[in-house]
């Protein structure tokens, strides 16, 4: 049985036409998720294409917005940011202005790796990296307590990271 191409919308634009992803496109994306430093020649060999054809496909995937960036994943522990804290935030008001003010300020919090609007008990979850308990306490006292519109902050210190990946299932 032959697999059909998957259609995905590019660049988070609902009006954009879907991009057809065939088996080779998915193989390219899987390989680049594992190691984006791979040379085009090596990537082409892995996905059974000529180097020029592989390069054209990678460029097409970039133009379509399916590849946002090529980055190095750093070792947080080795760089002095080994403590990971998840922070649940409840705002005192649910207005577009209060959300915008909070989001602007949250983007400036030292060590903030992620910030997400969520449903349920909290309005936001932030993922923050810091050196240790003392540095988190300082961050809490100097930055988190002063975020605009915050009614409640709950911090969850990660004791053990069981799984963390940047690879999307394809």
Diameter over CA atoms, the chain: 60
Report whether 84 contacts 139 (CB < 8 A): no
Q: What is the pLDDT along the chain (170 residues), one digit of tens a residue?
A: 445 566 665 555 555 557 889 999 999 999 999 999 999 999 999 999 999 999 999 999 999 999 999 999 999 999 999 999 999 999 999 999 999 999 999 999 999 999 999 999 999 999 999 999 999 999 999 999 999 999 999 999 999 999 999 999 99
Condensed to tens digits (0 to 9), the pLDDT of residues 84-130 reads: 999 999 999 999 999 999 999 999 999 999 999 999 999 999 999 99
Ordered by where they begin, the domains of the chain are 16-63 (1.10.10.10), 83-157 (3.30.70.920)
Which ranges constitute the DSSP H helices of the chain? 23-34, 40-46, 51-63, 96-106, 133-142
Query: How far, in Å, CA of 6 to CA of 66, rounded?
Result: 13
Query: What does the pLDDT read at residue 25?
Result: 97
Query: What does the pLDDT read at residue 153?
Result: 97
- pTM here is 0.82
* Mean pLDDT, the chain, whole residue set: 92
Placement of tokens 């705002």 in the chain: 91
Query: What does the pLDDT read at residue 102?
Result: 98
Placement of tokens 């990296």 in the chain: 129
Query: What does the pLDDT read at residue 2?
Result: 46
């Amino acid at each position: 049985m032959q697999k059909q191409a998957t259609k995905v919308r590019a660049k988070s634009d609902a009006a954009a036409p879907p991009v057809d992803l065939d088996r080779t496109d998915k193989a390219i994306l899987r390989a680049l998720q594992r190691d984006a430093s791979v040379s085009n020649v090596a990537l082409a060999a892995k996905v059974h294409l000529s180097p020029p054809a592989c390069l054209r496909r990678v460029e097409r995937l970039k133009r379509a917005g399916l590849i946002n960036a090529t980055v190095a994943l750093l070792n947080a522990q080795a760089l002095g940011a080994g403590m990971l804290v998840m922070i649940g935030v409840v705002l005192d008001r649910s207005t577009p202005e209060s959300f915008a003010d909070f989001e602007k300020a949250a983007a400036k919090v030292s060590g903030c790796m992620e910030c997400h609007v969520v449903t349920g008990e909290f309005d936001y979850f932030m993922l923050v990296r810091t050196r240790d308990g003392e540095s988190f306490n300082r961050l809490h006292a100097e930055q988190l307590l002063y975020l605009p519109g915050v009614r409640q902050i709950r911090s969850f210190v990660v004791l053990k990271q069981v799984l963390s990946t940047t690879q999307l299932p394809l």
